[in-house]
Chain A
Amino acid sequence: MAGIWVHGESAADGSLTKLSTEVATLARSVAEQLGGAEVTGVVIGSDPAAAAEELATFVPKVLTVKEPTIADNAAGMIVAQRLAALVEANDPDIVMTGAGPEGRDVAGALSALTGWGVLANATAVRGDGGGAVATHSVFGGKLITESGLTGSKGIVTVRPNAVTAEPAGSAGTVEEVAATGELQQPAVPIVDRLEAETAAAKIDDARIIVAGGRGVGGSDGFGLIQELADALGGAVGATRAAVDSGWIPYSQQIGQTGKIVKPQLYLAMGISGAIQHKVGMQTASTIIAVNRDPDAPIADFADMIVIGDLVEVGNALLAELRARSG
């Protein structure tokens, strides 16, 4: 076992993403299960220092590649090319990355450039018999599968919240490696950057999510959802129906064509729990639903369902929460 690599992603401010800290934590446990394989972090960016320092608190060794073109070009394809060259020179067995937009782009391009297979969207990964075995939730959560590699090399993409990130006992080293060779793929310039259209709290890593569906009835109805989220210290989520109706931006959508979340609490207001939505939230620790319809599919997988009008129950809950916080 020559080693496990962790691709460390930089956030917009140069820090390491939360997802990368989770992937690094997971990589350490996989390495242990494989009898002490070496874990190495790799950060490739225009200014990788800050993210690399942070990644080194999770793994014993971090390689950095300074690649100035990433500052003003789409990152994924460039990172993948540099990573492919490093992989060829250093011969690791497994490259792990996050299953977010950048990680998927990097994994896909790296797979095509190396011919390595991808164990995608893992909810858990373990080391078993010399290789990585990834757990996946498929068919809308109806089936859990475990997959391995047919050869000795491969890429694993890991879903957010698969593990709780934990730094290693001691900090690792950071070593800068020179970028070698020409970039063969066309660079795609970033001509502008735009802030998200709302200042809405991010649902990706939220501990508590209050989500609204078709039953909320309109943009105004999401005012109550927001108030509940504020009272609970959580973020606002939504179903595709609510997003398609224009009541709330796509960034807050949970489900098959939106985001997959795993909060401690999922409070579902006026959400029927159709399979396309369930895919995105069924692993929440606690699911509480408020719905008029006792036969809504969500009644089958919620911990508690309150049968009633979501405005009445929502306002009563708001009053109760506010009374409690005094």
Chain B
Amino acid sequence: MRIVVLTKPVPDPASGGERLLPDGRLDRANSPAVVNGNDEYVLEKALKLIEAAGEGEVILLTMAPESAPETMRKALAMGATRGVLVTDPAIAGSDAVATTRILAAALKTLDFDLVFAGVDTSDGTAGVVAPGVAALTGLPYLSYAASVDPDEAARKVRVKRITADGYEVLEAPMPALISGTQALGEPRYPSLKGIMAARSKEITTMSLTDLGIDGTSVGLDGATTKVVDSRPPEARGATKVVRDAPDEAARQIVALLAERRII
């Protein structure tokens, strides 16, 4: 079985260094990149499925600046087989529409049984690229997966999808595109052996020309949305620190709740 995992390098949410450049793009130089959190959950699931099947490969597909291999190595160290990087100077500043087109075009050059994506990314938080890629590739789309159960012999996959009221169990023929959540299980830490092995794993690159996409239709110039203003959030009021004994502290909590008409 062959699983492609869409993997996005994002600024480390824990770094505190994220900021925007004057043109509204992310200042990548100021914040270390990590693999997007939700992508790690689906990557973990892909690795487990390949291990259970006893054969197959997990291919990372990333659209990112040229520096992306550093971040891709982290995912390769977890156990992915190889990486495919779409990179091109023209993609800088691409919006979700362009990202969707580029990833869909890149997928058409690959062979796979399943495509996995995280439900959203911690920097963009839109959650619109996976359904968009499904629409452009015509792949069956199964979203918000809490579990993924492929039946390779029957060429079918079942997904337990999280809904507002519980779950729906979806079934589709393979190949299919699945977006997944944290409910798929905690990602593994790369082993030392994994980290060593990742150094020599293959990362092939593709340009927009390879994909037949006009560079002027993507990137900052082709973007459908633009940042028009940014500001720090309004500061919250000062924090009241209570160090009294539990009974007195509880009375103070209740007094604040009453004062604010919460109870």
Contact = CB atoms under 8 A, between A and B. Distances in A.
Nearest to B184: A250
A217 interface: no
B163 interface: yes
Contact of A80 (B97, B131, B166, B181): B131
Given A105-B143, A188-B141, A191-B170, A119 B254 contact: no
> Chain B's interface: helix, strand, loop or mixed, by majority?
mixed
A191 B186 contact: no
B233 A144 contact: yes
A317 B253 contact: yes
A147 interface: yes
Nearest to B234: A144
B161 A77 contact: no
Given A193-B167, A307-B242, A108 B237 contact: no
A193 B166 contact: yes
B140 A186 contact: yes
B168 interface: yes
B116 interface: no
> Chain A's interface: helix, strand, loop or mixed, by majority?
mixed
A159 B17 CA distance: 25
B262 interface: yes
Contacts of A77: 131, 134-135, 141
B128 A107 contact: yes
A320 B171 contact: no
A96 interface: no
Contacts of B133: 112
A275 B141 contact: no
Contacts of A140: 13, 18
B143 A74 contact: yes
Interface of A: 11-12, 17, 74, 76-77, 80, 99-101, 104-109, 111-113, 115-121, 133, 137-151, 154, 157, 184-186, 188-196, 202, 204, 208, 232, 240, 243-244, 250-251, 253, 256-258, 264-265, 274-276, 279, 285-288, 294, 299-309, 312-313, 315-317, 319-321, 324
